[in-house]
Amino acid sequence: MQNILVTGGAGYIGSHACKVLKNAGYQPVTFDNFVTGWRDAVKYGPLFEGDLCDAASVAAAFEEYNPIGVMHFAALSQVGESMHEPGKYWQNNVLGSLNLIETAAKYGCKNFVFSSTCATYGDQDNVVLNEDCAQHPINAYGASKRAIEDILANFGQSHGMNSVIFRYFNVAGADPEGEVGEFHQPETHLIPLMLDAISGKRDALTVFGTDYDTPDGTCIRDYVHVMDLVDAHVLGLKWLEDGKGSRAFNLGTGSGYSVREVIDHSQSVTNQTVPFTTGDRRPGDCTKLVSGSQRAIAELGWKPQRSNLSEMIRDAWRWHQNGHYDR
Considering only CA atoms, which of 274, 230, 286, 212 is closest in space to residue 14? 230
**For residues 56, 58, 63 and 65, what is the CA-based torsion angle, rounded to 10 degrees?**
160
Determine the Cα–Cα distance for residues 133 and 156; give it in Å rounded to an integer. Answer: 22
Judge contact between 227 and 144, C-beta under 8 A. Answer: no
User: Which DSSP helix (H) or strand (E) runs through 316?
Assistant: helix 309-322
Buried-state track 245-268, b at ≥16 Cβ within 10 A, e below 16: ebbbbbbbbbebbbbbbbbebbee
Judge contact between 215 and 96, C-beta under 8 A. Answer: no
User: 3-7 and 247-251 as β-strands: parallel, antiparallel, unpaired?
Assistant: unpaired
Query: CB-based burial of residue 57 (10 Å sphere; 0-12 exposed, 13-18 middle, 19+ buried)?
Result: middle
| Catalytic position from the list 12, 44, 89, 141 | 141
Q: Residue 195: phi, psi to the nearest 5?
A: -65, -35
Catalytic, 44? Answer no
Judge contact between 37 and 14, C-beta under 8 A. Answer: yes
- Write out the catalytic residue numbers: 141
